Chains A and B, each alone.
Chain A
Amino acid sequence: MLESKEITKVYGRKTAVDHVSLKLTPGFIYAMLGPNGSGKTTWMKMAAGLVKPTSGRMYFDGRPLDIDSRRRIAYMSTEPYFYTWMKVSDVGKYYQDFFEDFSMEQYHLLLERMQLTPDLKTSSLSSGMMAKLKIAVTMARDSDVIMLDEPLNGIDLLARDQIMQSIVERVSERRILLISSHLVEELETVADYAIFMKESRLVDFRELEELRSSEGISVTDKYRQIYGTNGGEA
């Protein structure tokens, strides 16, 4: 279980995350939704142990997040993070050195699905190919938590289907999958729960099938309700 209790992050005069309490349980896919600047990335970075909270705390399996639990959490950030000299195969080796739970076999499987070859230079990749590479290398880890920050950005429709397939494949009883996106429709059929972030706060938390059966509305409808037709980016 991954949990944040009253977690807050302040950068200078800007509060990026404001007293967010949130509990994620293994076995489910969570969609973290909200426009840019709503606090999704900062929350994820705190969950990954990359950003220190100003106040409040992150817990993993009931214990405060530490170096040990960080090893069990895979996080894909929106920033590019490969050295330009690297080939796709080097990226795999680099990850293998860093993470015990990295599987080269899984990596090659994902590369194949994403139509990437090991000999490609990362500096020659288009933005869509780079996005796919980042997903492949992150999802090749057998982690208890996999967090993908905006994995669908800059990715064409067909590649999106491949990515959604890979995400579905990674569901396991012991794993938490968290995907942030402002492309709400893409996550409609795969996510179990939606987390709605607005202006640094958690404003709603919904089970998707429950939303559809009890209110007869989609996540996209809910998104419009929360952010207003002009407020969001959907």
Chain B
Amino acid sequence: MKYISSVPIYLQVVNSIKEKIITGELSPGDKLPSGRELALQYTINPNTAARVYQTLEQEQVCFTRRGLGTFVTEDGERIRLLREEMAGTLVRQFLEGMKRLGITENDVMEMIRQAND
């Protein structure tokens, strides 16, 4: 994975896993790699990998079964919300970028329509 080096690495990995859940690459109830495996997969520090799972658990996107490992949530509603959260973030970032360019909301809407044609 290509990282943005000025953004916390654990957040980038958290988002990458969330995306896999939303796109269905990871299914509800799927077992996730161990912390060490995750570290190797993403070439990150194992301490960072542990933080990734802590964050995903706090956000109830994943859960841990003692001795068995970490799993993707089986709560379909949580996954639906996850998609909304991530879409919302993308839209806000996009709008902020447009605002910096001095483009008004109406123009933004018009540009989206045109780009979609």
Interface residues in chain A, defined as those with a beta carbon under 8 Å from any beta carbon in chain B: 27-29, 161, 164-165, 168-169, 171, 185, 188-192, 208-209, 212-213, 216-221
Closest chain-A Cβ to B1's Cβ sits at a distance in Å of 9
A191 to B43, CA, bound (A): 11
Q: A29-B45, A192-B45 are in contact. Are A212 and B9 (CB under 8 A)?
A: yes
- Contact of B43 with A165 in the complex, beta carbons under 8 Å: yes
A212 to B6, CA, bound (A): 5
- Contact of B6 with A189 in the complex, beta carbons under 8 Å: no
18 A–B pairs (Cβ distance < 8 Å), ordered by A: A27-B47, A168-B43, A168-B45, A168-B46, A171-B45, A171-B46, A185-B5, A188-B3, A188-B9, A189-B44, A189-B45, A190-B43, A190-B44, A192-B48, A212-B6, A212-B9, A220-B5, A221-B5
- CB < 8 Å neighbour of A209 from B10, B39, B43: B10
Q: Is the interface of B mostly helix, strand, loop or mixed?
A: helix
B76 contacts chain A at the CB level, 8 A cutoff: no
- Contact of A217 with B46 in the complex, beta carbons under 8 Å: no
- Contact of A171 with B48 in the complex, beta carbons under 8 Å: no
Q: Name the CB-closest residue of A to B49.
A: A168
Of B5, B42, B43, B44, most A-chain CB atoms within 10 Å? B5
- Contact of B43 with A213 in the complex, beta carbons under 8 Å: no
B40 contacts chain A at the CB level, 8 A cutoff: yes
- CB < 8 Å neighbour of B8 from A28, A171, A209, A220: A209
- CB < 8 Å neighbour of B6 from A28, A190, A217: A217
- Contact of A209 with B44 in the complex, beta carbons under 8 Å: no
**CB-defined contacts of B10 to chain A, threshold 8 Å:** 209
**CB-defined contacts of B47 to chain A, threshold 8 Å:** 27-28, 171, 192
